[in-house]
Structure 1
């Protein structure tokens, strides 16, 4: 029985140590890019020695990857959610953990952004040039809106930001400008001439 208790205690201690290391990395990400973070800085902030760090991670990118993986694995957005409900749920997770948002949006880590894309566009659509470019356009715009949101301190709630993104996506504020689009008239005439 005593052997089991020691194992449980050691397991708890290992999880705690890993958690403080991850928190140190996330805290440092608020000040600098991941490439500039050193193991020494993490150890000082987490109040551990280098041997302890290397017991759990081979380097800072390995720690960062484990943080990403845990977050991705924790995502549990119901399949019946609409893309905007999914976006709001995802934003709420980042809102609750602003340090993690730096990893996704300021650092621009692709695995988190890829997962976000899967959440927002779960159904495969037939590919054509417009769909392909539209997806790239929307995701790049979304990533930059979220990056700005994080850098400005997440002033809007996840719900407010979801509403803003919806307005942007459907171009509600700039739709009246379409009447000034001479290029669209040119394209329409070109199609008729073909």
Structure 2
């Protein structure tokens, strides 16, 4: 119980610090001081600040997977998944503008992939699309969503992503189902 509390406190304080300053300005010593623990306690849980960052992204991804609702559209699911980024815009911006940019990009890529995989599986129910085509559709939307979010972060996260994601959803409404049906037709030929 105490171990879990300590880990959660380290993660929480680290995120707070990331919302205040760039990643390269945060040290293990800083984290230990703000958590009122010694450095050895930090090292008991994490090898360094980057391992801590990686675990936070993994935990957030697992939260998205656990909380995903099959009744949500991909747009709603993606907006729910973006909750962490919206609540911690400055932290995401600080990590993105550090040497650990790939951690942010990988997190977004994994979230996008998870959301789209589940959505494509749900929409394909009753459609005999090939598994290769399903993977291709998921990959296409995963890459598109990832790049859109990365561009949004790079531009300073000024617009609210709900507006953009909902608009993309309206513009491309039905395309995934149509693509799955095309796959089914192509497989019959």
Contact preservation (8 Å) 2:113, 2:139: no
Distance 2:74 2:91 in 1: 22
**1:78 matched to 2:85:** no
Structure 1 residues 120, 15: closer, same or farther in 2, change over 3 A? closer
| TM-superposed deviation, 1:104 | 7.4
CA deviation vs aligned residue, 1:59-95 (integer Å, no higher than 9, x gap)? 1111112212221122221134221111222233544
Are residue 113 (structure 1) and residue 99 (structure 2) matched?
no
Retained in 2: the 8 A contact 1:94–1:101?
A: yes
Q: Distance in 1 between matches of 2:53 and 2:84?
A: 18
Maintained 8 Å contact 2:75/2:169:
no
Relative contact order: is structure 1 or structure 2 higher (C-alpha 8 Å, sep ≥ 6)? 2
Matches within 5 A, 1:33-44: 33=23, 35-44=24-33
Distance in 2 (alpha carbons) for counterparts of 1:94 and 1:138? 14
User: Which one of the candidate residues 65, 78, 83 is aligned to 1:87?
Assistant: 78
SS of aligned partner of 2:34: helix
Note the residue ranges of structure 2 that are not aligned, 5 or more in a row. Answer: 121-130, 173-189
Q: Which residue in 2 is equivalent to 1:163?
A: 163
1:27 aligns with: 16
Gaps of 5+ in 1: 1-10, 173-194
TM-score by length of 2: 0.61
The count of residues paired between Structure 1 and Structure 2 equals 153
Deviations 1:7-27 (A, max 9, x none): xxxx2x222221221122212
What does residue 140 of structure 1 align with? 147
Q: Give the deviation of 1:131 after TM superposition.
A: 9.3
Give yes or no for contact 1:87–1:162 (8 Å, CA) kept in 2.
Answer: no
Residues 16 and 92 of structure 1: is their aligned pair in 2 closer, same or farther, counting only changes over 3 Å? same
Q: Is the 8 A contact 1:87 1:120 kept in 2?
A: yes
Question: Please, what is the CA RMSD of the aligned residues?
Answer: 3.6
Distance 1:100 1:83 in 2: 25
